[in-house]
């Protein structure tokens, strides 16, 4: 069986690299630097198990992307974890109200993010 697929969308190359390393052991990771390319990949019929997306993105915001995903019949049930350098008060509450599974403020604890993804899959050990 293939590893669960995580879609990472972040315009910061270092964050994408970090997330690819964090999840490399148990997950397959596909990453993009903007929502437009990620959406094109999804339009090809790819269905990730989890999406991790930055809020502040070029062209289309992470929040707009999340709303589009949640309104989709195909991707509506895919858990989305939002990342941002905005404070928890500003963005976290808004993301959670809009249906994000979790919100992490940058810089985030990689182990905490990994544990959150394991929780999505019903795993207690990371």
Q: What digits encode the pLDDT tens for the residues 21-58?
A: 999 999 999 999 999 999 999 999 999 999 999 999 98
Residue 107 domain-assigned (yes or no): yes
CATH number of the domain that 14 lies in? Answer: 3.40.50.2300
Percent of the chain scored above 70 by pLDDT? 94
What's residue 124's pLDDT? 54
pLDDT in tens, 113-126: 999 999 998 865 54
Residue 82 domain-assigned (yes or no): yes
The tally of domains found in the chain comes to 1
Residue 36 domain-assigned (yes or no): yes
- Across the chain, what does the average pLDDT equal? 92
pTM, entire model: 0.93
pLDDT confidence bin for 88, thresholds 50/70/90? low
Residue 125 domain-assigned (yes or no): no
Say if residue 16's pLDDT is above 60: yes
pLDDT confidence bin for 100, thresholds 50/70/90? very high
Smallest Cα–Cα separation from 102: which of 117, 82, 123, 75? 82
Check if the beta carbon of residue 29 is closer than 8 Å to that of residue 36: no
Q: Determine the structural domain holding residue 93 and report its residue range.
A: 5-120
Residue 126 domain-assigned (yes or no): no
């Amino acid at each position: 069986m293939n590893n669960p697929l995580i879609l990472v969308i972040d315009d910061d190359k270092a964050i994408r690299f970090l997330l690819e390393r964090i999840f490399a052991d148990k997950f397959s990771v596909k990453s993009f630097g903007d929502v437009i390319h990620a959406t094109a990949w999804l339009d090809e019929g790819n269905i990730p198990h989890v999406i991790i997306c930055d809020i502040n993105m070029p062209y289309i915001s992470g929040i707009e992307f999340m709303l589009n995903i949640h309104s989709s019949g195909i991707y509506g049930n895919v858990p989305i974890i939002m990342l941002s350098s905005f404070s928890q008060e500003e963005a976290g509450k808004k993301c959670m109200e809009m249906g994000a599974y979790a919100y992490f403020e940058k810089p985030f604890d990689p182990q905490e993010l990994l544990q959150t993804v394991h929780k999505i899959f019903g795993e207690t050990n990371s």
